[in-house]
Every structure is written in C-alpha cells, then in structure tokens.
Amino acid sequence: MLEKREYYRLPWSMNDNPIAWIEVTDICNIHCEGCYRQYMTGHKPLEQLKDEVEFFIKWRNPDNFSIAGGEPLLHPQITDLVAYIAHKGVKPIILSNGLALEPKLLHDLKKAGLAGFTMHVDSHQNRPGWKNKTEKDHNALRQHIADMVAAEGGLFLIFNSTVYPETYSEIPDIIRWGQANIRIVQGLVFITYRTATTEDNIATDLKDQQVDLKKLSYTRASFHEHFITAPEVHQIIQDNFPEYEASGYLGGSIRHDSYKWLMGAMIGSPHRMYGSVGKRTMEFAQVGHHLQKGRYLAYLTSSRIGSKIFWLSGWDRMVRRARYQRWMDVLHNPSHLFDGVFVQSIGIIQAPDIQPDGRADMCDSCPDITIYDGKFVNSCRMDEYRLFGGFVSVLGKGKNKAEIEP
C-alpha cells in the first residue's frame, strides 16, 4: 500500500506551476475514447493565443507550455506560436497524436524553438489502420514516431497512454519498449480512463438545473467495469519492474487519500534498469530548479544524465541502491561502462473521480489548467464551461430528485 509520507508532495500551486496548458484548437484528425474535448469553435487566432501566453506568464510562472488541442499540429500557425513562446524564454512542448507529424514540419518546429513532444498513443484511439491492435502492437507506431523525432535531434519525447480495464495488463509491454529506447524516449505517462454514464446518472448545472449529460464527449451510455486507479498502475509496474518506485505526488482536491499524480524516474542504461530516484532527489530537483531558474520543473530536456546522478546517493537511499546495481553491472560486464546512464520518467495520472455528492475529486494544484473566458479552469472539464457555464454535478438517478428536476 502506498504511503504519502514516503513521497515528496510536489510544491506546485495555481500561481507557481511549471505547466501552462494552452489549447490552440478543438479540431482533431482522430477521435480517442475518453477524450474530453469536442469540436465547437475551431482554431484560435494567433493573436488570442499570444494573449493567453502573456496571461500564463503573468499569473502562472510556467517552465513550459503544453500546446494542446484538439490536434495542435493541424493549426495553420503552430510554428509561429512555438516561436513566440520560445522567444519568451519558456519551453514549448506539443501534445499530439503524431498522425500529422512529418519530417518537414518537425524540422520547422525544431527551428522555431520547440523543446519536445508528448505523444499520445494507445489502442482506443480509432486510429486509421490500427483497429483491434494491442498496446504491444502499437509499440511499432511508437517506434516510428520516436525514430523520426530522434533523427531530427535535439528534442525530448514522452509517450502518453490511457489505461482502460482491458489494457491494464498491457502496461508492462509499453514499459519494456520504453526501456529498450531509453536513449531517445525520456518518459512514459499512464492516464487512467474515466467516464460518466448517462443510463445511471443525471447532471445539474450551477443553478441546480438538469442538463443533457450526453452533450459531453467524455460520457457513454453505460460502464460496468472497475475503474483502474493510480495505485493499481503503480503496483503492476512494480510487480514487473521491481526497480521502479514513485518519488513525488499530487493528491486530490476532495479526498485526502487519493493519488492524482504519481511521478517517478528510473535510472538505467540501454541494457538494464538500476533503480529509481527517491523522495529526496525529487525534492532536490524541484527546489534546486526553482532556486536557479525561479520556476519549478516538470520535464527533463535530456534523458542522458550521466553518473552525476549518483552524487546524490549519500542523501537518497534509492539512488544509493541504483548506484550499487550500476557498479555490479559494470563489474560483470565491463563494456557497459561506456553505455552511459539515463533517466526515464514514469508518470501516473488518475483522472477526475465523481463522488457520491456529485462533485469530482480533481488534481490538487492542477498542472493542466487552461484559460477560458479570462480565467483558469481545469482543462479536462472545460467543455462543461463551454456548454453549461461551469462545472456540472453528476448524481445517480433518483438521488435528490426533487431538487434537480428541470
């Protein structure tokens, strides 16, 4: 069982957070199951996006901009936005499904100042040519994208995957692939699937008026399976990769016992993993970066960290264990001395959980806050603002019925 005192509570807040989530379009070229954005307005004008960049810099203090959508690579002025963000001294990162990525666009984005990509690839994306393929099958697609980005050079790369009950057991297949590509893949993120069901629930707006839950893209008629939790993802990773351990977390906005973000980083080489960074190293990275740069840290720009990570072994017992395993590996295989030492992050995100009173347990200090109507809102629930003017409450049918009928 996870114990919060064993992990570093990430010091992020609304106004001092390393991530700014800027949505450039709600147009996409595929439809992923569980996606919380639907087409309503199309591409945002570049001038509006520049205003949002300034708003974030003023009120958020970000270390990077997560350029999201929809599919941001479809925006006709995406390279101009990347250049504008880079000029402001903040890292531009594109969150993409990779379908529209090709070498010419990749080169132009790198030239404009792009820092890296977070690519979302999983088996429930309705991606052309990939129907009925497993997560292991999708490793071929991940490899294609990783090789393309690596060929351009100078960009970091992280892969996201949504975890469904039927794909939970396939998580190790993704991690094995990631570890084999530790030189060119800086991180993996697993996001647990959540949905609201229209058969069993109703929704009310801020005025307690019933609204049509079916209008939201992240609902479905019914769902009778067990939702996977962040601790369960952590457990299956540890069961298959005992070197792994999380080191930092964000809790929930309602439940004291929830884990909304679990962050860890494994230390290894292309031949094997040696261990993970611990709580102390995570704290050192966050506080040290803030002291040096004035901002907290969300992304390492390079996975090749070298043996200097072991300088922290006297302070961090987890790193000390990894150093020992590294020594043993080199002792038995001297040629491995020249492989280099790399860090690969593994993140686990648990999506909003509906509570019995209709509220959602959100991520405390939400890293993925975006801008709507001149204020910060949780990006995963922005369509509730766009459709209904604010967060809705989701209740089981028959609960407080007299109060919520229209």
Domains in the chain: boundaries: 9-404
- The answer for residues whose C-beta is within 8 angstroms of residue 327's C-beta and 6 or more apart is none
What residue has token string 């967060």? 391
Give the helix ranges, DSSP H, for 69-134.
78-87, 103-112
The reported pLDDT for the residue numbered 378 is 96
Structure tokens at 385: 């603002």
Strand ranges, E, within 229-317: 246-251, 259-268, 273-276
Strand ranges, E, within 296-352: 342-350
Q: Which of 258, 248, 245, 343 is nearest to 287 (CA)?
A: 248
Alpha carbon distance 142, 187 (integer Å): 12
Say what the pTM is.
0.95
Asked if the model's pLDDT at residue 401 lies above 70, the reply is no
The reported pLDDT for the residue numbered 205 is 94
Using CA atoms of 70, 386, 364, 206 in order, give the dihedral in degrees to the nearest 10.
-160
The reported pLDDT for the residue numbered 50 is 98
Query: Exposed (0-12), middle (13-18) or buried (19+): which is 132, by Cβ within 10 Å?
Result: exposed
Residue 363 DSSP symbol: B
* Angle, in degrees to the nearest 10, between helices 230-240 and 171-180: 60
pLDDT digits (tens, 9 = 90+) for 287-322: 999 999 999 999 888 888 888 999 999 999 999 999
Mean pLDDT of 169-191: 97
* CA-based radius of gyration for the chain: 21
Residue 293 DSSP symbol: H
Residues forming a β-bridge with 372: 375
User: Do 300 and 21 touch, CB atoms closer than 8 A?
Assistant: no
What residue has token string 């995957």? 161
Q: Which of 302, 273, 276, 298 is nearest to 285 (CA)?
A: 298
pLDDT digits (tens, 9 = 90+) for 220-273: 999 989 999 999 999 999 999 999 999 999 999 999 999 999 999 999 999 899
User: Do 216 and 383 touch, CB atoms closer than 8 A?
Assistant: yes
Mean pLDDT of 62-83: 98
Residue 85 DSSP symbol: H
What proportion of the chain, given as a percentage, has pLDDT over 90? 90
Mean pLDDT of 100-125: 97
- How many alpha carbons lie under 13 Å from residue 7 in its C-beta half-sphere? 21
Asked if the model's pLDDT at residue 125 lies above 70, the reply is yes
Alpha carbon distance 1, 191 (integer Å): 20
Alpha carbon distance 27, 46 (integer Å): 15
The reported pLDDT for the residue numbered 303 is 81
Alpha carbon distance 66, 325 (integer Å): 35
The CATH topology of domain 9-404 is TIM Barrel (3.20.20)
Residues forming a β-bridge with 304: 342
Q: How confident is the model at residue 400 (pLDDT cuts 50, 70, 90)?
A: low
From residue 45, how far is each of 24, 27, 49 by CA, in Å?
Answer: 8, 13, 6
Asked if the model's pLDDT at residue 89 lies above 50, the reply is yes
What residue has token string 């529209």? 100
In the predicted model, what is the mean pLDDT of the chain?
95
Mean pLDDT of 367-389: 96
Alpha carbon distance 320, 77 (integer Å): 47
The reported pLDDT for the residue numbered 46 is 98
Asked if the model's pLDDT at residue 402 lies above 50, the reply is no
400 or 365: whose pLDDT is higher?
A: 365
Task: Collapse the DSSP code of 346 into the 3-class scheme (helix H, G, I; strand E, B; otherwise coil) and give the result.
Answer: strand
Mean pLDDT of 357-366: 94
The reported pLDDT for the residue numbered 405 is 43
Alpha carbon distance 274, 65 (integer Å): 32
